[in-house]
Chain A
Amino acid sequence: MAAEVHALDFVLVVLLLWLGWRALASADLFKAVVQFIVFGLLVSLAWVRLGAPDVALAEAAIGAGLAGALLLDTLARLGRKGATDEVRPLGLTPARAGIALASLGLVILLVASVLALPESWPGLTAPALQQLGASGVTNPVTATLLNYRGYDTLLEIGVLLLAVLGVWILDAEAALPAAPADPMLSLLLRVLLPLTVAAAGYLLWVGAHAPGGAFQGAALLAAGGVLWHLARPLSLPASRPVRAAVVLGFAVFLGVGVATAVFGGGFLTFPPAYAGAVILLIEAAAMVSIAVIMVALFVGRPAQGTK
């Protein structure tokens, strides 16, 4: 358990560095997008090797899956205006030199701060594991995200909410005209949609004691939604039901926070007896909202225009 493990890690690191460089430097935007998708796959493997399967799961779902779909769709919309494969010469301009210098400064700062870390610091692992019994779940990552630092997750859902509001508000490029129905895509949808819904429910439930959770489940649901939109074009205007679905997760999370602040120990301080149920409730609502938000981001503004 030494040489073979190091060989795998070495190949992974070399591929990541090479792909990162190629995805940034490719003049061909389509090639860059494909390289970015493969980069996401390998980053997911890298997180596995770093012992963080929760992050690997999120990266696999969002980085390798949905981000690729969004980028390809964006590329198609750019292409319609005749901006295909914009050539970007790799010369050194003052602006690029400035960015390079600033990046170098940031790298030096980061390296210096890593070197300044104490040699042996106990970290927060011990206190996190110590409180696990009162957190309502047995997966320390879920306990951290939903209980110890619920604030962060609440605001992350808020960021996604703002993103979809931005897409709705901006007079963005309208969706492409719908292509004629494709029998193979309908078949794929019929096979894959039930599987993604079942797997999303599984990930939501398993998040309490193993890697999984609302974001990963939502990415799977959203993938099903994207496939649906491709097979039978959806229209997701900012109607009342869609708006309700989009704010549901944030509203439930905030509502629980206010309720615990008024009746309990403080904002987002869950009583240990109900913590498990409360976390599941928040995650279920968040999963629905995040999935609708992601599909709405992909669908964009309705083709006919709402003005």
Chain B
Amino acid sequence: MPEWMTVALWIAAAVVLATIALGLVRVERGPSNGDRMLAAQLLGTGAVAVLLLLARAADAPALLDVALVLALLASVAGAVFVRRLGVQPVQRGQDRTAEDGP
């Protein structure tokens, strides 16, 4: 693999990580718990992407297995959320007014 390609992969991984940082804003602000959970699911996908990029950039095929495990387990937390806590769209309007607190 040419040198510039490795550099490009590292930069791509850093950019995806930066989008994870942006996704954390959604986790922090919500407003509903469903938004937070979906943001976490999206961040899980982001982490899988970072791992896949690093696996190529650092030439470490073991990271593909880590990405596989993350991808397989990502849906479990979402399923527990939907089954046990549930999405509550009713609270959306109420939360939005109280959202600007600290």
A-side residues, CB < 8 A to B, are 1, 4-5, 7-8, 11-12, 14-15, 18-19, 22, 30-31, 34-35, 37-38, 41-42, 44-45, 48, 53, 56-57, 60-61, 64-66, 68-69, 72-73, 75-76, 79, 176, 179, 182, 185, 188, 192, 195-196, 199, 203, 206, 210-212, 216, 219-220, 223, 226-227, 230
B80: chain A residues at CB < 8 Å are 68-69, 72-73, 226, 230
- Given A4-B10, A45-B50, are A211 and B65 neighbors across the interface (CB < 8 Å)? yes
- Residue pair B24, A220 in contact (C-beta under 8 Å): no
- Residue pair A4, B7 in contact (C-beta under 8 Å): yes
Q: Using a Cβ–Cβ cut-off of 8 Å, how many residues does chain B contribute to the interface with A?
A: 47
- Residue pair A38, B40 in contact (C-beta under 8 Å): yes
B84: chain A residues at CB < 8 Å are 72-73, 75-76, 176
- Residue pair B17, A64 in contact (C-beta under 8 Å): no
A45: chain B residues at CB < 8 Å are 17, 47, 50-51
A199 to B94, CA, bound (A): 43
The 3 closest A-B pairs by CB, nearest first: A65-B73, A76-B84, A4-B10
A226 to B73, CA, bound (A): 11
A60 to B79, CA, bound (A): 17
A8: chain B residues at CB < 8 Å are 10, 13-14, 17
Find A79's partner among B6, B68, B85 (CB 8 Å cutoff): B85
Interchain nearest-CB distance for A251 vs B (Å): 27
Interchain nearest-CB distance for A303 vs B (Å): 14
In the assembled complex, B11 has its CB within 8 A of some CB on chain A: yes
Residue of B51, B61, B65 contacting most chain A CB atoms (<10 Å)? B65
A196: chain B residues at CB < 8 Å are 72
- Residue pair B72, A11 in contact (C-beta under 8 Å): no
For chain B, residues 1 to 42, give those with C-beta under 8 angstroms from any C-beta of chain A. 6-7, 10-11, 13-14, 17-18, 20-21, 24, 27-28, 30, 33, 36-37, 39-40
- Residue pair B60, A61 in contact (C-beta under 8 Å): no
Find B14's partner among A4, A38, A60, A188 (CB 8 Å cutoff): A4
- Residue pair A60, B66 in contact (C-beta under 8 Å): yes
A61: chain B residues at CB < 8 Å are 69, 73
In the assembled complex, B77 has its CB within 8 A of some CB on chain A: yes
Residue of A8, A57, A65 contacting most chain B CB atoms (<10 Å)? A8
- Given A8-B14, A48-B63, A210-B62, are A223 and B70 neighbors across the interface (CB < 8 Å)? no
- Residue pair B24, A15 in contact (C-beta under 8 Å): yes
Find A72's partner among B13, B24, B43, B81 (CB 8 Å cutoff): B81
B47: chain A residues at CB < 8 Å are 41-42, 44-45, 64
For chain B, residues 71 to 89, give those with C-beta under 8 angstroms from any C-beta of chain A. 72-77, 79-85
- Residue pair B27, A35 in contact (C-beta under 8 Å): yes
- Residue pair A66, B70 in contact (C-beta under 8 Å): no
Find B75's partner among A38, A53, A192, A220 (CB 8 Å cutoff): A192
- Residue pair A199, B6 in contact (C-beta under 8 Å): no
